[in-house]
Amino acid sequence: MQSYRIKKINFTDVFMWVVGAALLLLIVVGSFLTLQEEKYTAVQWFDLAVFGLAQGSVYALIALGYTLVYGILRMINFAHSEIFMSGAFIGYFAASSMQKSGFMQENPLLGILITFFVAMTTSTVLAVLLERIAYRPLRGAPRLVPLITAIGASFFLQYVFRGLFGTHNRAYPEIEIIKGTVPISGDFQIQKIQIVVILAAALMMALLVLFVQYTKTGKAMRAVSEDKAVAALMGIDVDKIIVNTFALGAALAGAAGVLYCFMFRIVTFYMGFIPGIKAFTAAVLGGIGNPAGAMLGGLFLGIFESLGPTLFLDGLGIPAPYQLKDVIAFTMLVMVLIFRPTGILGERLSKTKA
């Protein structure tokens, strides 16, 4: 038997490799040219990176919600971006009323905590309602059905918020203690708010890991994500665990909403859409269903978005590179999925379902 195995390589694979190589070349050449120009100082690169890190932390928090739900239900909860928005929105009402009454100025820390609490509660309640009303009746339906429901729910929630609270921009109050910068050395300095965002996000992610690893509910969640039927046989209430997962992801999204608004301050009914898409991209980048992957993907995407347009495109002489930021993000997503279909860290549950 000396015959050779017939190779699987075909036209489409070759095509994709060529495209991938071309893009890589573009990135390398672009970066080289930009750096050679020496238009930007080290301080500026540093600022961009820190900013990307802060942005990425928020993406990571939202991405965790996608990943947790996906891990358990194998479904993309498209409406998660609206859960994030709802937290930020209702948090705004808490924060601004505290600001008006002077409470926020007197007890800024307590005020911030209350804002977090209100936002996280709102998100959680909304997510649990959504699960109960829209998703639970669809267990076992074909895959497209819950996905379409989620898309519908996303638009419904977005426009309900628009109807309820109007279209005008609302701004979070400026809180004195998180304004200003912290010097590092020389010209290098970091915004206080960025430190707050990065630390808060890191703290919450750490808590999540501990929760999933060590609590009873967390273990049950892992069991359900491995095999629902077996978990049910072991006496785990699968429905309850699913609700818990939604609630957990939503709480993180609500917190992310508040952090996001501390950074950018503006609240609108459509604010969830773009961060939602980005966070989902991050979750897929890292390997959906894998919490560590979601965190890594979020940070990676944040930094990539912040540095990428300048680094890759500026040197190539492309005008207004930041307009193309999302093109870079999505192209990267496609490339990662082609060459590593299960994301950077891999889907945690890569059981092949043949």
Partner 1 sequence: MSSIQQQNTFDWKKTLQIGLIGGAVGVLIAMVGMVEEFNKRDIIAGTLTMGWTILSLTMLVTGLFAARAAASNASSVVGSIVAGTIFGAVMSILVWIVDKYNIRDILVNASPTLVKHLTFEKGIPNGLFMLIGLGAAVGGLGGVIQILPENIRRAISLGLGIAALLGLLQEIIQVSLANFEGASKAVEWMFGKGTEKGLSLAGAILVFVVVAAGNYLWTGNASKISAGFEKLPQSSRKSFRWLGYGLLFLALIYLPVVLGLYLTEVVNVTGLFILMGLGLNIVVGFAGLLDLGYVAFYAVGAYTVGVLTNLSGELTLNLGWNFWLALPIGVALAVLAGVALGVPVLNMRGDYLAIVTLGFGEIIRILALSDFLKPHIGGSQGIVNIPPPGFLDVIIKTPQTLYYLIVAGCLLALFISSRLRDSRLGRSWKALREDEDVAQAMGINLVATKLLAFATGAAFSGLSGSILAIKLGTIYPHSFALLISINVLALIIVGGMGSIPGVFVGALLLAGMPELLREFAEYRLLIYGALLVVMMQVRPEGFWPEATHKRELHAENAEPQAEGGAA
Partner 2 sequence: MNKRLLALLSLLAIASMALAACGGGGAATEAATEAATEAATEAATEAPAAGFECTDAIGCVDIAPGDPIHIAYALTVSGATASLGEDSKGAIEIAIADRGGELVGHPIELTGEDTLCNAEGGQAAGTKISADATIIGVIGTNCSSEARAAMPLISQAGMVMISPSNTNPDLTDPTHSDHHPGYFRTAHNDLFQGRIAAEFAYNELGLKKVATIHDGSPYAESLQRVFAEVFAELGGEVTAQEAVNVGDTDMKPVLTSIAAGAPELIYFPIFEPEGNLIAAQSKEVAGLENVLLMGADGLFADTFPEATGSAASGMYLSGPYVDVNNEAYKAFLQKWADQIGGVPPSGFHAHAYDATNILLNAIEEVAVVDADGTVHIGRQALRDAIYAVKGFAGLTGTLSCDENGDCATGEALGVFQLSDAEVNGAWPPPVLWQP
Partner 3 sequence: MTDILTATGVTKQFGGLTAVNNLSIKIPDQSISSIIGPNGAGKTTFFNCVTGFYTPEMGAIHFRGNRIDGLRSDQVTQMGVSRTYQNIRLFSNLTAIENVMVGYEPHLKTNWLDAVFHTPRYHNDEKAAHEEAIKLIRFVGLTGLGDQIARNLPYGAQRRLEIARALASKPGLLLLDEPTAGMNPNETVEMMHFIRNLRDSFGITIMLIEHDMRLVMGISEQVTVLDFGEKIAEGTPKDIQSNPRVIEAYLGRGAATEGMAAATGKPGKPH
Judged by the rule CB under 8 A, the positions of this chain that interact with partner 2 are 39-41, 43-44, 47-48, 51-52, 55, 167-171, 174, 181, 187, 189, 191, 260, 263-266, 268, 270-271, 273-275, 305-307, 309-310, 314, 319-323, 325-326
Query: 291-308 and 273-286 are packed helices; what angle lies between their axes, rounded to 10 degrees?
Result: 120
Task: Name beta bridge partners: 170.
Answer: 267
Which residues in the 41-70 window bind partner 1 by CB under 8 A?
Answer: 70
CA 225/CA 232 separation, integer angstroms = 11
Please give the single-letter amino acid code of residue 115: T
CA 161/CA 30 separation, integer angstroms = 42
Q: Which is nearer to partner 3, 109 or 354 (CB)?
A: 354
If binding is defined by CB under 8 A, does position 295 make contact with partner 1?
Answer: no
For residue 182, report the phi and psi dihedrals to the nearest 5 degrees.
-115, 125
Q: Which is nearer to partner 2, 69 or 198 (CB)?
A: 198
Identify which of 268, 217, 242 has the alpha carbon closest to the alpha carbon of residue 89: 268
If binding is defined by CB under 8 A, does position 81 make contact with partner 1?
Answer: no
Q: Which is nearer to partner 1, 211 or 273 (CB)?
A: 273
We find the least distance from the C-beta atom of residue 7 to partner 3, in angstroms, to be: 7
Residues lying near partner 3 in the complex (CB under 8 A): 1, 3-8, 352, 354
CA 207/CA 159 separation, integer angstroms = 33
Identify which of 288, 345, 276 has the alpha carbon closest to the alpha carbon of residue 62: 276
Using the structure block, give the residue that is written with the tokens 């998660």: 80
Of these partners, partner 2, partner 1, partner 3, none, which one is at the site of residue 22 (CB under 5 to 8 Å by kind)? none
Of these partners, partner 3, partner 2, partner 1, none, which one is at the site of residue 8 (CB under 5 to 8 Å by kind)? partner 3
Which residues in the 137-196 window bind partner 1 by CB under 8 A?
Answer: 137-138, 141, 143-149, 151-160, 162-166
> Hey, how many other C-beta atoms are within 10 angstroms of the C-beta on 102?
9
CA 223/CA 62 separation, integer angstroms = 23
CA 315/CA 48 separation, integer angstroms = 17
Q: Which is nearer to partner 3, 9 or 164 (CB)?
A: 9
We find the least distance from the C-beta atom of residue 138 to partner 1, in angstroms, to be: 7
Question: Pick from 115, 281, 290, 306: which binds partner 1 (CB under 8 A)?
Answer: 281
Query: 42-73 and 238-264 are packed helices; what angle lies between their axes, rounded to 10 degrees?
Result: 160
Of these partners, partner 3, partner 1, partner 2, none, which one is at the site of residue 318 (CB under 5 to 8 Å by kind)? partner 1
Of these partners, partner 2, partner 3, partner 1, none, which one is at the site of residue 155 (CB under 5 to 8 Å by kind)? partner 1
Q: What angle do CA 158, 140, 127 make, to 5 degrees?
A: 30
Phi-psi map region of 194: left, alpha, beta (phi>0 left; psi -120 to 50 alpha): alpha
Of these partners, partner 3, partner 2, partner 1, none, which one is at the site of residue 151 (CB under 5 to 8 Å by kind)? partner 1
For residue 181, report the phi and psi dihedrals to the nearest 5 degrees.
-125, 160
Binding site for partner 1 (CB under 8 A): 10, 12, 15-16, 19, 70, 74-76, 93, 134, 137-138, 141, 143-149, 151-160, 162-166, 277, 280-281, 284, 288, 318-320, 323-324, 326-327, 329-331, 333-334, 337-338, 341, 354
